[in-house]
Structure 1
Amino acid sequence: MPFEMVDAALAETGTTQRRVRALPSRVVVYLLLAAALFADLGYPQVWTHMIAGLDLDPGDAGAGRVRVPSASALCQARRRIGAAPLRALFDLLRGPAGGPRTRGLWWRGLLICAIDGTQMCVPDSPANLAVYRRGGGHHGGTGYPMLRLVALVCCGTRTVIEAAFGSDRRSETAMTTGPSGLTAAMRPGMIVLADRHYGYAPTITALAATGADLLIRVRNNHRYRVEQYLPDGSFLSQIGSLPVRVVRVNVTIRTTAGRRCETYQLVTTVRDPSCSVLELARLYHQRWEIETSYFELKSTILRGRVLRARTPQGIDQEVYALLVTYQALRIAIADALAERPDLDPDRASFTIALTTARAQLTAAAGVLANPVDLIGVIGRRVLDALLPARRARTSPRVVKRAISNYTVKTSQNRVRGPSRTYTVEINTLAADDA
């Protein structure tokens, strides 16, 4: 994010400082982005990382030391610029990264995307409680107030195409299809994957109206009128006036611990008979890439911590700073892999990109970027330490806050279960099978 980009965002939103200040607006924007890299530090400590690598002459009395602003000065500066320039920066950066040869980015010429939602904890302050609510309403509320985030993510490179967030009083579907929702970023040329939360007629119709193709899991007890059977066992139907294809499959997973079988019912706007049931079922598995994106945002960057800001306006600013930082790292990874079609983006380590960015910031390296160096230091570090090819392994889902000292109570009294190699078998079910 060069200076010109940040200055353009400030000018567009009218937040450039009107007089010379110790903390110009541009510096405050970079402070907010740096704070997203150091989620465990307060803003004064983040400031010390920003100035640690500056090349100052200790013999010059006027430049030998950079004064550290007080916490109140940093707070006032953040309030002065608000969230608008961070939102403008996100609008400049958001979108699918990668190239026409990037592996896993396309399916039959369509950009593979996914929509889903997650929740994040915000500080328990009176101002935040006016907008966000705690859980456990039957007993007056327990835990931290919750923020809901929904995103449209490009599955191949896990870059964010659009995001919306707010109080968890609004549902995922309302934040997706409502005003300023994710549907504004959906278009023809995409195939959008979604789970059962989106598998209802009004939501499916609203998503399809964008022109994007859909592949959505619906509840197994939903029944659709059969218009025509296809040779592979799927059938054509309609949801209102929307022509769809319904696929029912049994997915069986076998590991050394046993066997598990589950029925999936999928609805898609892809009605081409040349696209087999097996191909659609395997494509739907790509929806899990958005879960990995949320893991990188909440566990790798934030390390499971609560957001900092104690006001709703500060929360907006902080979340946009997180999204901008995440997107910038993902673009750096995608740029490094753009000319390596032999590599799957899954092999690029987000953790290495994040730690390299932290080191670059502390060393004040690459402040004036080389415009011909597309890969950059972060990209080279990622390419030098590629992950192994993704293996077919599974492990039970376990929920535990990263900062908690208490073990999750399970029947085996463990926090993380062992991962096991698995095999998958997919069988088509007839429309009238239970």
Structure 2
Amino acid sequence: MVAYFVLAMTLFFDDAYEEVMRKLVDGLRFLRSWDEDWQLPTSSALCQARARLGAEPIRELARVARPLAGAGTPGAWLGDLRVMAIDGVQLDVPDTADNEDAFGRGVSQGLDAPYPKVKVLGLGECGTHAVIDAHLGGVLVDERELAPLAGQCRTRDARACRPRVLQPRILAGGHCDRRRIAVAGAVSTEIARSHRPG
């Protein structure tokens, strides 16, 4: 349950720990798959449970996750190429000296942010919205620096349209549709280069 909780925190990043857990449990209660006598843990208990879980189960989940799109998945394919996109998000992390040193706090309206923030750059399938790879970095790191130029698919937003980003993308085997915002491509990594099943 704690692993689900950790994943849910990325979906409901604006909610307090207790509210995230409440949302998870309410779905199970609706399905009549949860003990009604169960009490919602405190924020401190949830924080301790996260520490006990550690990073390894989430790391293993990311390692075994694979593209989900089948041959008939709408929006997943452009010819025989898997359609991929990259997007970034900033997430608050616990207020520790190690996190501040590793990721920084960022600045908002001239003031330091209240918590350190990690920048996450995810590679996802457009047809399923499944994130199949992610890179982490400090809050002030440019998204283009988080993913290696070779072997990654790039989006065509305002920052990614510059020639120094487009040229390495094409060299890495990506295919760029200049008429659209997204990039469709099969690139040099095994996961993203997989062709349409069947």
Deviation at 1:146, TM superposition (A): 4.0
Q: Trace 1:417-432 onto structure 2 (pairs within 5 A).
A: none
Equivalent of residue 199 in structure 1, options 150, 161, 185: 161
Query: Bigger radius of gyration, 1 or 2?
Result: 1
Q: 1:397-433 CA deviation, whole Å, 9 max, x = no partner?
A: xxxxxxxxxxxxxxxxxxxxxxxxxxxxxxxxxxxxx
Change (3 A) 1:41 1:199: closer
> Are the counterparts in 2 of residues 116 and 195 from structure 1 also a CA contact under 8 Å?
no
Matched, 1:32 2:6: yes
Deviation at 1:170, TM superposition (A): 1.6
Mapped partners of 2:170, 2:91: distance in 1: 32
Equivalent of residue 163 in structure 1, options 116, 134, 140: 134
Mapped partners of 2:12, 2:93: distance in 1: 17
**Residue aligned with 2:159, SS:** helix
Deviation at 1:174, TM superposition (A): 0.8
Counterpart residue identity of residue 6, structure 2: L
Mapped partners of 1:160, 1:72: distance in 2: 29
Q: TM-score, normalised by structure 1?
A: 0.33
> Are the counterparts in 2 of residues 115 and 153 from structure 1 also a CA contact under 8 Å?
yes
Counterpart residue identity of residue 129, structure 1: E
> Are the counterparts in 2 of residues 44 and 68 from structure 1 also a CA contact under 8 Å?
no
> Are the counterparts in 2 of residues 38 and 46 from structure 1 also a CA contact under 8 Å?
no
Matched, 1:210 2:196: no
Quote the residue 1:49 is aligned against. Answer: 25
> Are the counterparts in 2 of residues 123 and 144 from structure 1 also a CA contact under 8 Å?
yes
> Are the counterparts in 1 of residues 85 and 155 from structure 2 also a CA contact under 8 Å?
yes
Percent identity (aligned): 27
> Are the counterparts in 1 of residues 104 and 139 from structure 2 also a CA contact under 8 Å?
yes
> Are the counterparts in 2 of residues 134 and 146 from structure 1 also a CA contact under 8 Å?
yes
Matched, 1:82 2:54: yes
Q: Trace 1:95-114 onto structure 2 (pairs within 5 A).
A: 95=67, 97-114=68-85
Mapped partners of 1:73, 1:132: distance in 2: 26
**Residue aligned with 1:91, SS:** helix
Mapped partners of 2:160, 2:113: distance in 1: 28
Change (3 A) 1:41 1:93: same
Q: TM-score, normalised by structure 2?
A: 0.63
Alignment RMSD (CA, Å): 3.8
Q: Trace 1:285-324 onto structure 2 (pairs within 5 A).
A: 285=181, 287=182
Mapped partners of 1:112, 1:92: distance in 2: 20
Counterpart residue identity of residue 195, structure 1: D
Deviation at 1:79, TM superposition (A): 0.9
List gaps (5 residues or longer) in structure 1. 1-26, 57-63, 187-191, 216-265, 267-280, 289-434
Change (3 A) 1:141 1:72: closer
**Residue aligned with 2:52, SS:** helix
Mapped partners of 1:140, 1:41: distance in 2: 23
> Are the counterparts in 2 of residues 115 and 194 from structure 1 also a CA contact under 8 Å?
no
More strand by share: 1
Mapped partners of 1:100, 1:158: distance in 2: 16
> Are the counterparts in 2 of residues 105 and 156 from structure 1 also a CA contact under 8 Å?
yes
Quote the residue 1:120 is aligned against. Answer: 90
Instruction: Work out the number of aligned pairs and report it.
Output: 176
Q: 1:350-406 CA deviation, whole Å, 9 max, x = no partner?
A: xxxxxxxxxxxxxxxxxxxxxxxxxxxxxxxxxxxxxxxxxxxxxxxxxxxxxxxxx
Mapped partners of 1:162, 1:43: distance in 2: 28
> Are the counterparts in 2 of residues 116 and 194 from structure 1 also a CA contact under 8 Å?
no
Change (3 A) 1:80 1:203: same
Deviation at 1:101, TM superposition (A): 2.6
> Are the counterparts in 2 of residues 105 and 111 from structure 1 also a CA contact under 8 Å?
yes
Deviation at 1:70, TM superposition (A): 5.7
Mapped partners of 2:143, 2:82: distance in 1: 22
